Chain A
Amino acid sequence: MQISGAQMVIEAFIAEGVDTVFGYPGGAIMNVYDEIYKQDKFQHILNRHEQASVHAAEGYAKASGKVGVAMITSGPGFTNAVTGLADAYMDSIPLVVVSGQVPMSLIGTDAFQEIDAVGISRPCTKHNYLVTDANDLARVLKEAFYIARSGRPGPVHVDIPKDVTAQIAEFDYSKPVDLETYKPHTKGSTRQIKKAMEAIANSKRPLFYLGGGIINSNAAYEVRDLIHRTGIPAVETFMARGTLSHDDKYLISMLGMHGSYAANMAMSETDMVIALGARFDDRVTGKLSEFAKNAGVIHVDIDPASISKLVNADFPIVGDVKNVVEEMLELADTINPDHYESWRETINNFDELHPLAFHEDSERLKPQWVVKRVGELLGDNANISTDVGQHQMWAAQFYPFTRPRQFISSGGLGTMGFGFPAAMGVKAASPEKTSINFTGDGSILMNVQELMTAVEKKLPVINIILNNNFLGMVRQWQTLFYDKRHSETDLSVQPDFVKLSEAFGGIGYRVHTKEEFDAALKDAVEKNVVAFIEVLVERFENVMPMVPAGGSLFNMMLLEKKKETK
């Protein structure tokens, strides 16, 4: 089939089953947008900033498990998208991002809207391409989708000069991908798995350490099965929230910097860490030399470079978590759940000593209450996105997650401004669920222009702004570690969030009390349009417990016992 490069992009998307593309047109990508105009096989969602397009594609990918797709123009269009690429790279989210480039004849001449896009995207993508001949386009696009979704997933960037999108060439998308140099190792070594299971059976205090790789490999239900059959307790990383249901008796909680006391103590006391798709991030481990100090380590990961990167693995298993856990399940009978009775008891005692909790206040709403309340009212019926900061940690700590892909957040890069566009992508992927974005008064302004997109495309995201008039997480560190010098974190000067939402055609609520909050959330769910629910919360609330940066997991700052008042 002889078609133009621009048509090839469309045909490739259709062949890949793409139903939604997020993007923003511009000079160098116009040929492709002309073809988008002519087709009706997929919808295009026009964000109001390229960064938001990529975050929306991330939200779409995380909620659906499919490859997210974004399209942008050259120069500033591309550079705006870089934060999204970096975010997807850090959190292993499969994306294909197509950018326009100036024509080949102008590359290297400092042409209008020219930038070395592949040079910039190289360190923040799994792979990238500059396509110099339309004859390569079918192969490149097919490889891009394959690389994005296979192995350890990640973003792939395809940069296409304008004259290549105009070039007529042969298009054949049926040829299978043949990459001699890229063959992800998906099946774990059976011998190694057997040895690991023996080691578990011989351990006294084993602990599952569940990571985001479980969500990526769609292995959550197999992992639940393995945990229930072995009776081994589990901690989740931030990225793994929802792997186990919140009410699972084997789930301790989240571990790490803002993990629960019980989760961090369990990790400090365990004699066998069973890491599944987790990467021993510094926010999880705290001080490395003290992390799980007396434990053996079984590490299952599809990325060999993640194994023994920070913590030496005694039983490294390279493979897809799902495949490996399925093999582990075959040997699950070799492990006696009764062995761990007293170990589970110890952990329960930790939890009773310092449970994840907060103190209610009679004057101002507590942000944690808001998160819990949304959980009570919407529970499984909502998908939860977040921005980055204190609200993000409270969402991870207090929302009652029931399933994988329910929690969508920026973990590795920690990108403020992620939540709102991501929640739109989540809504596009999963329209039957309410899409909530927990955000803060700092984060929401970083992609607030997306109100327009949400109104235009009828993506009724409910943004719950936990407003403490502070850049809260930085303020917390300033309070704790900088002698209360609140440098540039006081956000007392603010827009009227209700009017702001209304100005774009959304709805807004300002909430001071529990009753007002319930009414606002109920109304927003019913009205089914994009909403801001601004909740005025306690200004100086800290996220607790906390492991100070570089500290050991067992040395946590804990919630102060409530002062007895009146």
Chain B
Amino acid sequence: MTENSERRVISVIVVNEASVLSRITDLFSGRGYNITSLTVAPIPDSKYSRLTIVTSGSVRVIEQITKQLHKLIPVLRVYEHCDLVEKEMALVKFPITENISDINSLCDAYNGKIVDIGDDMIIGMVTDEPKRVENFLSAIKKYNPKEIVRSGAVALER
């Protein structure tokens, strides 16, 4: 496939049952599709869970991914989003020796704040669009982050 590869966000509604997540991830690995990030949590007051998968591929590959996902028996619905609100969270641990007010301002600029201060470390949290989370992570490089964790994207169609 020489067609252009583009980033896509796909939401999948699945029956919340044993091994349903491995059905999804096996499908991606078995057919050679990419997973950039994957988040999953139960939908309140229902027997379903919702997955948000960020993937990339040509138009044909994305079409195959949605069709193959839909073929899985416990999959109720597959949405391939066009116009959507997308958010991701990141937590970052800094040494206590770094400038707390700088870090706080940076977090603030990306919809976040300092969420924990211990004896030897600070934990900052941001919640923003994945692209902006990336910008944040590059901006805080000079504050010697010790550990970084990203949640993966969640998305809702407008």
Q: Which residues in A have some Cβ–Cβ distance to B below 8 Å? A: 118-119, 122-123, 126-127, 130, 132, 147, 179-182, 303-305, 308-309
Cα A179 to Cα B72 with chains together (Å): 12
Given contacts A119-B22, A122-B23, contact A181 B73 (CB under 8 A): yes
Cα A304 to Cα B72 with chains together (Å): 12
Cα A182 to Cα B71 with chains together (Å): 8
Residues of B within 8 A of A305 (CB): 64, 67-68, 70-71
Question: Are B71 and A303 neighbours in the complex by a CB distance under 8 Å?
Answer: yes
B18 within 8 A of A: yes
> Residue on A with the closest CB to B47?
A180
Residues of B within 8 A of A118 (CB): 19
Q: Which 9 A-B pairs have the closest CB atoms?
A: A305-B67, A127-B73, A181-B76, A123-B30, A182-B73, A304-B67, A305-B68, A122-B26, A305-B71
Residues of A within 8 A of B102 (CB): none
Distance in angstroms from B22 CB to nearest chain A CB is 7
B74 within 8 A of A: yes
Question: Are A181 and B22 neighbours in the complex by a CB distance under 8 Å?
Answer: no
What are 24 A-B residue pairs whose CB atoms fall within 8 Å in the complex?
Answer: A118-B19, A119-B22, A122-B19, A122-B22, A122-B26, A123-B26, A123-B30, A126-B73, A130-B18, A132-B18, A147-B73, A179-B73, A181-B14, A181-B15, A181-B75, A182-B73, A304-B67, A305-B64, A305-B67, A305-B68, A305-B70, A308-B63, A309-B64, A309-B67
Cα A37 to Cα B115 with chains together (Å): 66
> Residue on A with the closest CB to B68?
A305
Tally inter-chain residue pairs, CB-CB below 8 A: 37
Residues of A within 8 A of B23 (CB): 122
> Residue on B with the closest CB to A151?
B71
> Residue on B with the closest CB to A303?
B71
Given contacts A119-B22, A123-B26, A123-B30, contact A180 B76 (CB under 8 A): yes
Cα A130 to Cα B19 with chains together (Å): 9
B7 within 8 A of A: no
> Residue on A with the closest CB to B63?
A308
Cα A181 to Cα B69 with chains together (Å): 12
Residues of B within 8 A of A130 (CB): 18-19
Cα A126 to Cα B14 with chains together (Å): 16
> Residue on B with the closest CB to A310?
B60
Interface string of B71-113 (1 = CB under 8 A from A): 1011110000000000000000000000000000000000000
Cα A130 to Cα B18 with chains together (Å): 9
> Number of contacting residues on B, CB 8 A?
19
Cα A368 to Cα B84 with chains together (Å): 61
Residues of A within 8 A of B14 (CB): 181
Question: Are A308 and B60 neighbours in the complex by a CB distance under 8 Å?
Answer: yes
Residues of A within 8 A of B74 (CB): 181
Residues of A within 8 A of B68 (CB): 305
Distance in angstroms from B20 CB to nearest chain A CB is 10
> Residue on B with the closest CB to A122?
B26
Distance in angstroms from A290 CB to nearest chain B CB is 16
Cα A147 to Cα B75 with chains together (Å): 14
Distance in angstroms from B53 CB to nearest chain A CB is 17
Cα A309 to Cα B18 with chains together (Å): 30
Question: Are A304 and B70 neighbours in the complex by a CB distance under 8 Å?
Answer: yes
Residues of A within 8 A of B64 (CB): 305, 309
Distance in angstroms from B92 CB to nearest chain A CB is 36
Cα A127 to Cα B74 with chains together (Å): 9
Distance in angstroms from B137 CB to nearest chain A CB is 35
| Known contacts A303-B71, A308-B60; 20 further A-B pairs (Cβ under 8 A) | A118-B19, A119-B19, A119-B22, A122-B23, A123-B26, A123-B30, A126-B73, A127-B73, A130-B18, A130-B19, A147-B73, A179-B73, A180-B76, A181-B14, A181-B73, A181-B74, A181-B76, A305-B64, A308-B63, A309-B67
Cα A119 to Cα B25 with chains together (Å): 12
Cα A182 to Cα B15 with chains together (Å): 11
Residues of B within 8 A of A126 (CB): 73
Residues of A within 8 A of B26 (CB): 122-123
Centre residue among A118, A180, A181, A308 by max chain B CB count within 10 A: A181
Cα A127 to Cα B23 with chains together (Å): 10
> Residue on B with the closest CB to A132?
B18
Distance in angstroms from B10 CB to nearest chain A CB is 15
Cα A308 to Cα B60 with chains together (Å): 8
Residues of B within 8 A of A182 (CB): 73
Cα A73 to Cα B71 with chains together (Å): 29
Residues of B within 8 A of A308 (CB): 60, 63
> Residue on B with the closest CB to A306?
B67
Residues of A within 8 A of B70 (CB): 304-305
Cα A127 to Cα B75 with chains together (Å): 12
> Residue on B with the closest CB to A147?
B73
Residues of B within 8 A of A147 (CB): 73
Cα A132 to Cα B19 with chains together (Å): 13
Distance in angstroms from A85 CB to nearest chain B CB is 14
> Residue on B with the closest CB to A118?
B19
> Residue on B with the closest CB to A312?
B60
Interface string of B4-24 (1 = CB under 8 A from A): 000000000011001100110
Distance in angstroms from B8 CB to nearest chain A CB is 17
Residues of B within 8 A of A119 (CB): 19, 22
Cα A148 to Cα B29 with chains together (Å): 24
Which residues 1-55 of B sit at the A interface, judged by CB distance below 8 A?
Answer: 14-15, 18-19, 22-23, 26, 30
Cα A181 to Cα B67 with chains together (Å): 14
Cα A119 to Cα B30 with chains together (Å): 13
